[in-house]
Amino acid sequence: MLTTLAQNNAAGMIGILLLVVVYLAIIVVVIAGMWKMFSKAGQPGWAAIVPIYNSYILCKIVGRPGWWVVLLLIPYLNFIFWIIVMIDLGKSFARGAGFIVGLILLTFVFIPILGFGKSEYQGPSVGAAAG
């Protein structure tokens, strides 16, 4: 018969295992959504799985220069530029303000919505605003 301590450890391990499975499922869905989103924008879908290159492609999709990847790597400053990129991403797919707020706050939910949903890429929002 298991002691109370052993039962608690077993319950804890099951809980941790469940969290890991859910976390991995979320990662797979986000990567698949990003892959589809990149494909909609005319970029290679496989770029979604290459860590820094996917940020470069994302900057390219929204019309920001490639060197913005450096800004996305600077601690604390990256939050500001991430928000700007998410705003531009929403505009590039012709989405409204509510969706853009969702992209900023719940990126892991709204990226798959962009990829698998009916949203169509309209072109880089920054290039459209500048032109």
Res. 128: pLDDT tops 60? no
Helices (H), the chain: 4-40, 51-62, 68-73, 77-92, 97-105, 107-116, 125-130
DSSP label of 2 = -
Global model pTM greater than 0.95? no
What would the pLDDT profile of 70-121 be if each residue is shown by its tens digit? 999 999 999 999 999 999 999 999 999 999 999 999 999 999 999 999 999 9
